[in-house]
Amino acid sequence: MKIDAVLAAVVVNIGSLTKAELGSAIKSSRTELLNHCTDRDLVPVPPTTVLPADLTAEMVHSTIYGTKMRERTAGREIYNLIKNRTPARRCSYCGVSTANTLDHVLEKSVWPYLSVVPENLVPACSDCNSHLRGRSIGNGEGKFHLYYENLPTQPWIECQLTESAPIATTFVYKRPPSYPLALWNRLQNTVDAIGLSRLYAANAPRIVRKAARNLERLGRIEDRADHMKEMVGDYEDFDRFGYEYLTTYALSRSDWFIDAGYTLAL
């Protein structure tokens, strides 16, 4: 999204700042952010340039982001465009809940000029947004920046199945050996903060039941095994790190589940 379009929709005079001055302050803050967010090399971004004496950070972000972007004005259209751009409109962090808000990667209370910069706005659910509050980027406690850091291409989260009644699922994280440790630490900070493994485990039983109901209709064990492979393929196309895929994959690898274990989930 073009920053000029955002600025045209949301920028107003505030305090002693004219629209042009505010627009230029936002642009220079954005440049500073982009300079610090080269791929795989996130470093701490210094807080924003000093605000004019008659302005507080709260005044800046509540006016341009709160009043002009989040509320019902021309800026809301931009807000919705950013919020709705994830697959199936799910939260970018957990991939489970609906993205109903925007997470400020760098907090608006510290970096008010970044409050309307698209590169700083990530579609999120309100739970993830609140769990990640107060976390910066580029330090030991930092969070993963979904726009500038790449998730591992190798599997990094796995569903483990308990093959007994009641069928339970546990989700564990495993760093692929080639994945850089600093990135992994930030990814861990982020998934720990939002409780991803607990969230996946809470949603997995729905997938187990769905698979069990499908298998119940198939008389032959070979057909049940084929069906599980098809389910895996469908979910893999949607999100191969999502709980639906991971759970289905674990079930498809379990001879116990396909043979008769599935009846425990009916």
Q: Which position among 69, 82, 94, 215 is part of the footprint of Zn ion (CB under 5 A)?
A: 94
Q: Minimum CB separation from Zn ion for residue 98, in Å? A: 9
Q: Which of 96/106 has CB closer to Zn ion?
A: 96
Cα separation, 176 vs 181, whole angstroms: 10
Nearer to Zn ion, 91 or 121 (CB): 91
Among 93, 111, 249, 257, binds Zn ion (CB under 5 A): 93
Contact between 61 and 82 under an 8 Å Cβ cutoff? The reply is: no
| Binding piece for Zn ion, criterion CB under 5 A, among 27-35, 67-75, 83-91, 176-184 | 83-91
Q: Which of 7, 57, 91, 106 binds Zn ion (CB under 5 A)?
A: 91
Binding to Zn ion (CB under 5 A): which residues in 110-129?
125, 128
Nearer Cβ to Zn ion (95/138) = 95
191 interacts with Zn ion by CB under 5 A = no
Contacts of 168-172 with C-beta under 8 Å, sequence gap 24+, read: 168/201, 169/200, 169/201, 169/204, 169/205, 169/208, 169/247, 169/250, 170/197, 170/201, 171/196, 171/197, 171/200, 171/201, 171/204, 171/243, 171/246, 172/197
CB-based contact 136:44 (threshold 8 Å): yes
193 binds Zn ion (CB under 5 A): no
User: Residues binding Zn ion: what is the number (CB under 5 A)?
Assistant: 6
User: For the stretch 176-185, what's the b/e string if a residue is b when 16 or more beta carbons lie within 10 angstroms of its beta carbon?
Assistant: eeebeeebbe
- The residues binding Zn ion (CB under 5 A) are 91, 93-94, 97, 125, 128
